Structure 1
Amino acid sequence: MDPKSSSTEISVEFPTIFRIYKDGRVERLKGTETVPPSTDPKTGVRSKDIVLSHESGLSARIFLPKLTDPTRKLPLLVFIHGGAFVIESPYSPLYHNHAALLTSEANVVVLSVNYRRAPEHPLPVAYEDSWEALQWAAAHSNRNGPEAWLNDYVNFDRVFVGGDSAGATLTHHVVHRAGVDGLSGAKIVGMILFHPFFGNGKLDKLLEVIFPECNGLDDPRVNPGKDPKLGKIGCRRVLVFVAEKDFLRDRAWAYYESLKKSGWGGVVEILESEGEDHVFHLFNPSCDKAVALVQKVVSFINQD
């Protein structure tokens, strides 16, 4: 066989997301554009890229708001991006801009996690990376960690974890794990799930490819509403966003109902954006409903 033809022959394809060629090469069909870290001239938000583990290559982009009182310690938001566990990164324009907006509006330090993506790194690698990133951040509570912005500016009694779509799946996982296993050095106050991917019965083929050890769409790792230990979640406040036209909407509502019945002692809110689709706020951040969504996040983070 001509080696050139084998290098262009497709083994698996998920239109608009990615394809795998028979020679093992992976091609992402979107979400590959990146922007460098920067200082925003309008808001004063600064960002920089950091390595969390030289061994695995786990990295992140960290965002710092304009400091009006350098002695004041700020909440920390550990943010985990979406993209079907396969596309996008903290360095893509969508997620850089979103993290910078949350940093400025909520006056928080944001650690946007660059977990290793499938299919090159099949799940549950992203779960482990996200948990490692949260532990890495919490280890700065002694003010002697490798990242000065965390040492100098973060109140580790006010840590939040948030993410959208697949990132919301990872967010739930790490906050739940913190409740089960404990998290040294930091107190998770709240969890924010933007349009979470908890399955909908139609993505089983994708999971077969990127999560071969998954036990189906009711596996608690992808559908935590089915987890008998759901009530052990490691925070006391949860905010769930859903969108009316989102194909993942029903499972998010089911998660909300399951959490209320789980025996967990916290408070969960759910807010639905009428007439909107999946992660609309990333693509149209200036629309009224996206602005309202961000302001709800600001209120959630800054309430006592």
Structure 2
Amino acid sequence: MDSSNSTEIAHEYPPFFKIYKDGRIERFTGIEIYHNYLNSFVAEANVVAVSVEYRRAPEHPVPIAYDDSWAALKWVASHADGKGPDDWLKNHADFESLFFAGDSAGANIAHHMGLRVGLEGLAGVKLDGIVLVHSYFWGKEPIGGEDTDAEKRRKVEALWRFTCPATSGVDDPYINPGTDPKLGSLGCKRVLICIAEKDIFKDRGWYYSELLGKNGYRGVVEVMEAQGEYHVFHLTNSTCENSVAMLKRIVSFINQGQA
């Protein structure tokens, strides 16, 4: 056996993962930081949260993550009216006030789950709103002040094609909501979009807020921008002023829906 394959890199996509020629995958970040952040959020908002551990690419290519997330939501909804196997959900969750939230790829998924609720419904629950933090959206043509560097854009597109081999490209509705004719069918009445000034995806967040109104969405759209910050800064520096402010804004957004 050629032991050199264990150290030779086949594909590398920082800051997410690298793949070695022997098939081994090394991820640069894990889920502990998410668990800690979620605990802080739950304590501040006084809510019940369900964290979806969907299968991740490249081992499990997109759209498996969307399918897993929808299956998890159907499981949550199965607890409405005192049913379902989880006593904590049955006794404490408010199924009349449900929110989807996520950052980066999780925000992308939260959007698509909200859209699916609008198109298919989710029996037993009422979706009040979605929270999209630093959404992983993209597109073939640059928008706003988006980076036009061909090499940087090629890397974003290459990562997308690697995680979703069956895609038509970065104008696929999975990653570019602007190409989705069903965008206005989002199944909630409120949307909070959080962006970061120095995030490569910043302009996509602003663009998404504009697209909703242009595509017939009749709900309320709010946007919060953190000055001087980068992609998912709240995970690496959860106690900084901008992180605390964003957490409080999300908490306020959700608690407003429960009032």
Question: Is contact 2:139–2:171 with CA below 8 Å preserved after alignment?
Answer: no
Question: Is contact 1:19–1:26 with CA below 8 Å preserved after alignment?
Answer: yes
Alignment partners' CA distance in 2, 1:8 and 1:128: 33
- Larger CA deviation: 287-296 vs 178-187: 287-296
Alignment partners' CA distance in 1, 2:42 and 2:173: 31
Q: Which residue of 2 aligns with 1:71?
A: none
Alignment partners' CA distance in 1, 2:183 and 2:73: 20
Q: Which residue of 2 aligns with 1:219?
A: 172
Q: Could you say what secondary structure the match of 1:156 adopts?
A: coil
Q: Which residue of 2 aligns with 1:235?
A: 188
Question: Is contact 1:225–1:259 with CA below 8 Å preserved after alignment?
Answer: no
- Larger CA deviation: 100-109 vs 199-208: 199-208
Question: Is contact 1:200–1:248 with CA below 8 Å preserved after alignment?
Answer: no
2:123 to 174, 184, 204: 184
Amino acid at match of 1:175: G
Aligned residues: 243
Amino acid at match of 1:167: G
Answer 1 or 2: which has greater strand percent.
1
Higher relative contact order (Cα pairs below 8 Å, separated by 6+ residues): 2
Alignment partners' CA distance in 2, 1:280 and 1:16: 13
Alignment partners' CA distance in 1, 2:84 and 2:95: 13
Runs (5+) with no aligned partner, structure 2: 141-152
Answer 1 or 2: which has greater helix percent.
2
Alignment partners' CA distance in 2, 1:282 and 1:17: 14
Is 1:282 aligned with 2:221? no
Using the TM superposition, give the Cα deviation of residue 250 of structure 1 relative to its aligned residue in structure 2, in angstroms: 0.8
Identity in percent: 50
Using the TM superposition, give the Cα deviation of residue 168 of structure 1 relative to its aligned residue in structure 2, in angstroms: 0.2
Alignment partners' CA distance in 2, 1:8 and 1:281: 33
CA deviations on 1:205-262 (whole Å, 9 max, x unpaired) are 1112111011111111111132111000010000000011111101111111001211
Q: Using structure 1 for the length normalisation, give the TM-score.
A: 0.77
Amino acid at match of 2:253: F
Alignment partners' CA distance in 2, 1:289 and 1:25: 37
Runs (5+) with no aligned partner, structure 1: 32-87
1:15–1:266 Cα change, 3 Å: closer
Moved over 4 A (4+): none
Q: Which residue of 1 aligns with 2:13?
A: 14
